[in-house]
Amino acid sequence: MTTPAEPAPFDEAVVLSPEWLARILESGHPGVVPAAAEVVERIETVATKLRFRVTYAQQAGAPPALCAKGYFNPRHRRGSRAEADFYRDFAHDLPVRTPPCVHAAVDEDTGHALVLMHDLVAAGARFLDPLVGYRAAQAAETLDQLAALHAATWDDKRPDASGLFPPRLASLAGHMTVETLQPLLDDGRAAGIPDDVRRADRLLAAMAAMDTLGNSSARCLVHGDLHAGNIYELPDGRPGLIDWQVVQSGHWAQDIAYHLATVLPPDELARTERDLLEHYLHRLAAHGVEPPDREHAWWMYRAHLPYGLYLWSMTRAVDRPIIEHLTGRLATAVARHKSLDLLEV
């Protein structure tokens, strides 16, 4: 009789072992016998992603290439459980493209979260780069995915969503004070932005104001971090969404404002954002949701731009060029729309 596999080992050597893989894969592939695993790429930010090939003595239909995402580096063992909970309990029921998940778990003793997915790169998918160009036509396709996600969870269609993924604006704002945030805003990441936008007190007040807006509106599940680096494209060009670490119950405009302002160059954003917002609202209606009034939606879109600016203003554990690129784009959009004035902060 075999012993149960650890649900989310801290030790990546355990995850790559034939014994652990056999116990995890057995439920979906009875009779599987992994023989060895070979890492083909290691990607390390806060989380670590291990892409690896598996050879089998008995394959039993199991995937030949997998990707494990966990917090294997001892310096970064503070990750969120939200992503593992999302893949385990929600992803398979949502009409949104995500990597096929083999196993997702949180070790309740250690708090470590682990997700084991099919390796989409081996299947021909392309993972995008937040520093590389993205066009309005591509943004329309990712808005289709966001509309499907929002509609499927709109206004308590999935009442378990808000319990498992509670609103996070207040908790995110709680990570910073004016004294800790202002030096980050002044470190060059938002160079050239007007002084009245580059103010920590206003940005923290904006987070509180957006939280209040969310309490008076229909909530849905939002991705929370959809810049281009969290998008992949299948060989036929269709987009999918990855990195669900900030998934939360929130206001639809958090996702739309953040996504458009991060993926599009400022000039193209200014030319296309109203049309793209109209496209999103049309797709919401196609999924059976009564969309908000167009002018109210336009106000909400502009009012939620500070959400992304706050996230990137507080970010440190990402490559500096990405921090500057995304903070600059978001700050430019906030300044152009006078979003902080809309929120009266």
pTM: 0.94
Range of the domain at 43: 12-123
Contact in structure between 109 and 184 (CB atoms under 8 Å): no
Nearest to residue 121, comparing CAs of 174, 177, 65, 175? 65
Residues 92 and 141 placed together within one structural domain of the fold: no
Nearest to residue 86, comparing CAs of 164, 7, 170? 164
Residues 310 and 336 placed together within one structural domain of the fold: yes
Last residue of a domain, one of 62, 91, 123: 123
CATH of the domain at 146: 3.90.1200.10
> How many structural domains is the chain composed of?
2
Q: Say how far apart CA 22 and CA 30 lie, in whole Å.
A: 9
Is the per-residue pLDDT at 263 higher than 80? Answer: yes
Nearest to residue 115, comparing CAs of 76, 80, 88? 88
pLDDT digits (tens, 9 = 90+) for 132-187: 989 999 999 999 999 999 999 999 888 888 889 999 999 999 999 999 999 999 99
Residues 261 and 115 placed together within one structural domain of the fold: no
Q: Amino acid identity, residue 167?
A: P
pLDDT digits (tens, 9 = 90+) for 209-242: 999 998 888 899 999 999 999 999 999 999 999 9
Confirm whether 76 is domain-assigned: yes
CATH of the domain at 42: 3.30.200
